[in-house]
Chain A
């Protein structure tokens, strides 16, 4: 039977890359669809929540289109992958845009790196842009990917997790931050697997092969 991976489109930017990368690693029996239709999302086998841009706009669209309801349902029944702002939207709240309430799938806050980020006496640029290492915590989505592999990040805000057992990948840029979060059917990453060359493609392939409930 053919499988469906739904990439949720809530009107916040370009989903071309996520769609293309998933399709590139998907088996011949898997169809990857960019959609905003809750029924299609509910019927999918795998669901991806991407996100770019400012969190206030993202959350406004997520709520307006009822995506938060759909996410609350699918997280119980099928594998769900959050990417970048998609991860941030899963936290309790974000400092961005003067403070925004998010979906609260994971306890924890999204914080600003700040304008005075320093490491070993060197001032760090913000956004955190480029290829950084991720220290893995055992999870099926890391299968076949070397620990401390580099992934492509672009973000000015980072996830501060409350529950350490939910941190599935650790990143560091002036401060320690959660590069990946996971619990049950949900896995969410701060970096862009769809832009992270072989390591990113491997993670996406692992996601499509994952049946959740880690």
Chain B
């Protein structure tokens, strides 16, 4: 099969600035999103995802300008997540130059929003983000509010429902693993990837390059998302892609 698996670096942004410690060697002002996006683009990133953690409405305008500035210079797909609650939010990000938006808690509160968004803008630009935690052997549930609030919703069933509602892709984050660097939760990745017919992006827990390989080979993910291993210059995106290719995974090199 010739379709390549994708590597997606993820950046947290607040009021149009990249936060949460990005520290490339040789870049002094690490918070400039355009510079960071270009760096990942040059390293061969297949897409870039921005997670907007801006709390205020005014701050969001700055995020929109950031997306505009990046879209003018970076010619790979851009996804923006965080705070996407209404159709107007989606339109604003797409008009700014985002290719996809990622919907998280708004989908949990109002699943119809995903259906409306998909009908309005096309499934290709609607990513549904799922934050899952293991609650028992072989059972994972959706949590909101950064993993603090349980919903009682079965994550695998939820993914199937979101695909039926018109999601074009699932961004699956394991809340148990996020920031822990012990690798993806392969159980839930595999369960969801097998259950849906749309691409699944694995996220949460990447600490080394073998974890990326496992996400694809054992978890069945179509794409892998990582933040800190790239931010601190531990590995370049190019190194990660070469490592995955050496493990027999189809990559764009």
State the A residues within 8 Å of B (CB). Answer: 13-14, 16-17, 20-21, 24, 52-54, 115, 119-120, 122-133, 150, 152, 154-156, 172-173, 194-197, 200-201
With a CB–CB cut-off of 8 A, which chain A residues contact B41? Answer: 197
CA A196 to CA B122, docked complex, whole Å: 20
Bound Cα distance from A172 to B68, whole angstroms: 33
Write out the residue numbers on chain B whose beta carbons fall within 8 Å of the beta carbon of A21: 75
Interface class of chain B by DSSP = loop
Q: Any chain A CB within 8 A of the CB of B247?
A: no
Question: For the complex, what is the distance from the CA of A20 to the CA of B3, rounded to whole Å?
Answer: 26
A contact residues around B137 at 8 Å (CB): none
Q: Is B76 an interface residue (CB 8 A)?
A: yes
- Contacts A13-B122, A16-B96 supplied; 10 other A-B pairs, CB < 8 Å: A13-B94, A14-B99, A120-B1, A127-B168, A129-B124, A131-B3, A132-B3, A150-B4, A195-B76, A195-B99
Give the Cβ gap from B66 to chain A, nearest Cβ, in Å: 14
Within the complex, the shortest CB–CB distance from B43 to chain A, in Å, comes to 11
Show 6 A/B contacts (Cβ-Cβ < 8 Å), sorted by A: A16-B68, A52-B122, A53-B121, A130-B4, A130-B46, A130-B199
Contacts of B197 in A (CB 8 A): 115, 123, 125-126
**Taking chain A's interface residues, is the majority helix, strand, or loop, or is none over half, making it mixed?**
mixed
The CA of A192 and the CA of B135, in the complex, are separated in Å by: 41
Q: Which residues of B contact A172 (CB under 8 A)?
A: 2
* Docked complex: B68-126 residues within 8 A CB-CB of A: 68, 71-73, 75-77, 94-97, 99, 121-125
Instruction: Please give, as numbers and ranges, the residues of chain B lying within 8 Å of A154 by CB-CB distance.
Output: 124, 168
Question: Which size class do B's interface residues fall under?
Answer: 20 to 34
Give 10 closest A-B pairs by Cβ, nearest first: A131-B252, A16-B97, A131-B4, A53-B122, A154-B124, A150-B252, A14-B94, A133-B2, A132-B3, A20-B72
On chain A, the residues within 8 Å of B169 by CB distance are 129
Query: Which residue from B71, B121, B252 sits with its C-beta under 8 Å from A17?
Result: B71
B226 contacts partner chain A, Cβ-Cβ < 8 Å: no
Q: Which residue of A lies closest to B76 (CB)?
A: A197
Choose among A120, A127, A132, A195 the residue that contacts B77 (Cβ–Cβ < 8 A). A195
Within 8 A of A (CB), among B143-175: 168-169
Q: Counting CB contacts under 8 A, is B229 at the interface? A: no
**B11, CB-defined interface residue at 8 Å:** no
Residues on B with C-beta less than 8 A from A127 are: 123-124, 168, 198-199
Interfacial chain B residues near A155, Cβ < 8 Å: 124
Task: State in angstroms the CA–CA spacing of A197 and B237 once bound together.
Answer: 15
Which residues of the other chain, A, contact B131 by a CB distance below 8 angstroms? none
> Once the chains are docked, how many angstroms separate the CA of A200 from the CA of B97?
17
Given the known A-B contacts A16-B96, A131-B46, are A200 and B198 also in contact in the complex, defined by CB atoms under 8 Å? no
Q: Please name all residues of chain A whose beta carbon is closer than 8 Å to the beta carbon of B122 when the two chains form the complex.
A: 13, 52-54
A126 touches B198 (CB 8 A): yes
What per-residue 1/0 map shows which CB atoms of B1-37 lie under 8 Å from chain A? 1111110000000000000000000000000000000
Q: Assess whether B185 is interfacial by the CB under 8 Å rule.
A: no
B222 within 8 A of A: yes
Whether a CB of chain A sits under 8 angstroms from the CB of B223 is yes
Min Cβ gap B69→A in Å is 10
Tell me the complex Cα distance, A14–B223, Å.
24
Give the chain A neighbours of B72 by CB distance below 8 A: 20, 24
Contact partners of A20 in chain B: CB under 8 A: 71-72, 75, 97
Query: A173 to B125, alpha carbons, bound, how many Å?
Result: 20
A198–chain B nearest beta-carbon distance, Å: 8
Task: Give the CA-CA distance A211 to B65 in the complex, in Å.
Answer: 36
CB-CB under 8 A from B125, the residues of chain A are 52
